[in-house]
Homo-oligomer: A and B are copies of this chain.
Amino acid sequence: MRNKRFLSIIFFFNLIASYAQTNAPAVLDRIGLDARDVNEKKFDTNLSANNVGQYIKEMSAVPHHVGSPGGKANAEYILGKFKSWGYDAAIENFYVLFPTPKTRLLEMTGTRNFKASLQEPALKEDATSGQLAQQLPVYNCWSADGDVTGELVFVNYGVPADYEKLARMGIDVKGKIVIAKYGQSWRGIKPKVAQEHGAIGCIIYSDPKEDGYFRGDVYPKGPFRPPFGAQRGSVEDMPIYPGDPLTPGIGATRDAKRLDRKDAANLLKIPVIPVSYGDAQPFLEALEGPVVPAEWRGGLPITYHAGPSRNKIHLKLDFDWQIRPLYNVIAKLKGASFPDEWILRGNHHDAWVNGAGDPLSGLAAMMEEARSMGEMVKSGWKPARTILYCAWDGEEPGLLGSTEWVEFHADELQQKAVLYINSDGNGRGFLDAGGSQALEPAFTEIIQSINDPEKKVSVFDRKRSVDIIGAASSKIKKELLAKRTFTLAALGSGSDFSPFAQHIGIPSLNLGFGGEDEGGEYHSIYDSYDLYKRFKDPTFEYGVVLAKTAGHTTLRFADAAILPFDYRNLQKTISKYVTEVIALADEMRENTSVENQLINEKYYAIANKVNEPLLAPTIKTEVPFLNFSSLQNAMLTMEKSTNALSDAMRNNTLSPAMKTELNKKLYRAEQVLLTKDGLPRRGWYRHAVYAPGFYTGYGVKTLPGIREAIEQRNWKEAQEQVDIAAATLNSFSAYLDGTVAELK
């Protein structure tokens, strides 16, 4: 369900660090290099772009959301395929809450009467767009039931900073309905922050600036969002916990102990609905009050006002809150040497509607990988380790299938899972990859040996060129030119890697191609085979490239004599995060001091413009100096420990038993980065280094306990979190030191 356009903004901040690490080759299975190359060639030869297209076409033929006949049919289709390819496959069910709409009404009365259509029109150019009876209508899943009437206020993207600006404009949303634009934050943040500020309802719309004609020709002429295209999507408060709201931390089996819905901490109390820009325009035109700041204005041909509206807005929503079955398809290829070491590869199969792009383009690539792997098994090869293919259900409403499965199998996974490789929607373009930075050297080698279909250079070189050309200054370009190792972006949320990485500490990768596949079909009825084939990956070759990238990674980790984890890269990355959080506190201290002076000495009052009045900001608490020394010292220790481990791993005299022991230590190491209590107020997230942001949603926060405490100006908690992170990193170093000691 991840929206790549949004992701690219997040990714931008990681760009400078890309290719940042050492040039040392990854520790790979040097004995079997030739065999590996032969194997990978065989694997590649089996792959067929036609098959990828065919899977997408067949599985996108009808809508297939959670609990739908199409969804069940697709699970069975996938199961059948895996079985036919020789896998030990089965469907594993969970039973989750999943609300679908019964009543949807959004209207305005007063100087202008208007009722939103809340309906995406069928197009003759799009064969599946008219399947009205089977489509989930336009809605935000996990909206509360509600029947509210009030004035409307425009809150820009609806993030906390927007409410600070509204307060300076003298506008309060208490008792009002807000309208927010999609973009900047993950959608679920918008109603959550609105609710925190006392709003009684929330409308989210796709502005044509971010998602419509401003970006390019709209569908069907081009791929961008047409006036009445709307974005469905989940508003579960996943930064608290994802998965079934009623079974946090445990698998939602048929008999699991469930919370009362009113007690689920990740559910909203106010109603929220998404609308198209065609539906939004009359509401926005009805707003009075001040003109919004320039950076808030969108692409509609109107003057954007903040509100409130004189007209009354009426929003009425009712849902069918049923428990419904999930169908996870799990297919196993048993390892010949280490059957209890698992390489997991996953992609979800549920969609909001037909989902040709999201998720089927990624799922089809995964299925083609699996088919190729099956062919290799038929011709005599067996992986050393067990390979598991997982087609998840219920990702769209909140990573339901993967989260319940991970929660249910947590102990076994923490024993056996070597690596989880995720994908989701995929398209033409260049690599977008995130994950544990210990994987960087190995992953760099992998993508240096796979070619981009358009440019006939490696996937690595294509991405590197795009980053260099796109860099903002000659200085950054020169830095990127000097770097030869791919940097994996830190993982936030938005797809099924989250429970693996952040809840139980399994090393994870999230892979996808894109950047030449822009469009506006995201979570709409237009995410169809017709649109995909015209605009997203016409030859399905990028499906094949994804299959190669994930497939080679799977193969190398399945067959490696020594697993190619290099924790020096992780250490360097965390060291950068440490520098960042220290700089963040310093910058906030400086800004707070200057801003408080400007407020106290009336500079804001004097500068205030009579035609655009703004109240001064409120005085903020001064930022104390925090004691970061425990963290800084932990980084010194970690640098020594990771270097020592790397040296020890290059020891050629290790016995097979020692290698086996080393491998277990290597793949379980990241679990040591989990903290006992997890993050404050959201203990489900236990990783000390990565989490989705409490106020960004998908967007990652690194060293999240520290960073968010600073951002929220909670100095006591920030200091506590510094010390918790330091202790966790010291445990990690001690774990590595123990590993090194065993090798001697």
Q: Which residues of A contact B (CB under 8 A)?
A: 208, 213-218, 222, 224, 291, 294, 297, 299-303, 428-429, 454-455, 457, 461-462, 465-466, 468-470, 474-475, 477-478, 481, 515-518, 535, 587, 590-591, 593-595, 597-598, 602-612
Given contacts A300-B301, A301-B301, A462-B606, 9 further A-B contacts (CB under 8 A): A218-B303, A222-B303, A299-B299, A468-B598, A469-B598, A474-B595, A481-B597, A515-B609, A516-B610
Stoichiometry, copies per complex:
2
Give the residue name and chain of the B residue nearest to A277 (CB).
B301
Q: Is the CB of A606 within 8 A of B302?
A: no
**Which residue of B301, B602, B608 contacts A299 across the interface (Cβ within 8 Å)?**
B301
Q: How far is it, in angstroms, between the C-alpha of A455 and the C-alpha of B587 when the chains are bound? A: 32
A594 pairs with B291, CB closer than 8 A? no
Could you say which residues of chain B place their CB within 8 Å of the CB of A301? 208, 213, 299-301
B474 touches A590 (CB 8 A): yes
Distance in angstroms from A600 CB to nearest chain B CB is 12
What's the Cα separation between A581 and B214 when bound, in Å?
38
- Which of B208, B297, B594 has a CB less than 8 Å from the CB of A474? B594
Determine whether the beta carbon of A478 is less than 8 Å from that of B594: yes
For the complex, give the distance between the alpha carbons of A504 and B404 in Å: 82
Task: Please name the residue on chain B nearest to A614 by beta carbon.
Answer: B469
Residue from the list B213, B455, B465, B603 in contact with A303, Cβ < 8 A: B213
Write out the residue numbers on chain B whose beta carbons fall within 8 Å of the beta carbon of A217.
291, 303
Return 30 A-B CB contacts under 8 Å, by A number.
Answer: A213-B302, A213-B303, A216-B303, A217-B303, A222-B303, A299-B299, A300-B301, A428-B611, A429-B609, A455-B605, A455-B608, A462-B607, A465-B604, A466-B606, A466-B607, A468-B603, A468-B607, A469-B607, A470-B607, A474-B591, A474-B593, A475-B590, A477-B598, A478-B594, A481-B594, A481-B597, A516-B610, A516-B611, A517-B611, A535-B611
Q: Return chain B residues, CB-CB under 8 Å to A213.
A: 301-303
Q: What's the least CB distance linking A715 to chain B, in Å?
A: 19
In angstroms, Cα B478 to Cα A461, docked, is: 44
Q: Which residues of B contact A457 (CB under 8 A)?
A: 606
Residues on B with beta carbons closer than 8 Å to the beta carbon of A224: 303
Chain B residues in 8 Å Cβ range of A218? 303
Do A216 and B299 form a contact, CB below 8 Å, given A478-B594, A515-B609, A603-B469? no
CA distance A466 to B604 in the complex (A): 8
A151 to B546, CA, bound (A): 43
B-chain residues with CB within 8 Å of residue A612 when the two chains form the complex: 516
What's the least CB distance linking A303 to chain B, in Å?
A: 5
Given A291-B216, A454-B610, check contact A469 B299 (CB 8 Å).
no
- Chain B residues with Cβ below 8 Å from A609 are 429, 515-516
In the complex the two chains form, is B465's CB within 8 Å of A603's CB?
yes
**Residues of chain B within 8 A of A465, CB atoms compared:** 602-604, 606-607
Chain B residues, CB < 8 A from A604: 465, 469
Interface centre among A215, A470, A478, A608 (most CB of B within 10 A): A608
Collect the chain B residues with CB atoms within 8 Å of residue A610's CB.
428, 454, 516
> How far in angstroms is the closest Cβ of chain B from A208?
7
Q: Which residues of B contact A475 (CB under 8 A)?
A: 590
> What's the Cα separation between A516 and B611 when bound, in Å?
6
Min distance, Cβ A545 to any Cβ of chain B, angstroms: 14
Interchain CB contact under 8 A, B455 and A606: yes
| Cβ–Cβ < 8 Å partners of A591 in chain B | 474
Q: Lowest 10 A-B CB distances belong to which pairs?
A: A465-B606, A469-B607, A465-B607, A301-B301, A474-B594, A466-B607, A465-B603, A474-B591, A213-B303, A516-B609
Nearest B residue to A467 by beta-carbon distance? B607
| CB-nearest residue of chain B to A428 | B610
**B residues in contact with A606, CB < 8 Å:** 455, 457, 461-462, 465-466
CB A11 to nearest CB in B, in angstroms, measures 15
Most central of A300, A517, A591, A594 by chain B CB within 10 Å: A594
Q: A533–B593 Cα gap in the complex (Å)?
A: 41
In the bound complex, CA of A603 to CA of B591 (Å):
39
Complex CA gap A474/B590 in Å reads 7
A454 to chain B, nearest CB (A): 6
Q: Write the nearest CB–CB distance from A658 to chain B, whole angstroms.
A: 43
Bound complex: CA A428 to CA B612 (Å): 12
Residues in B with CB closer than 8 Å to A428 are 610-611
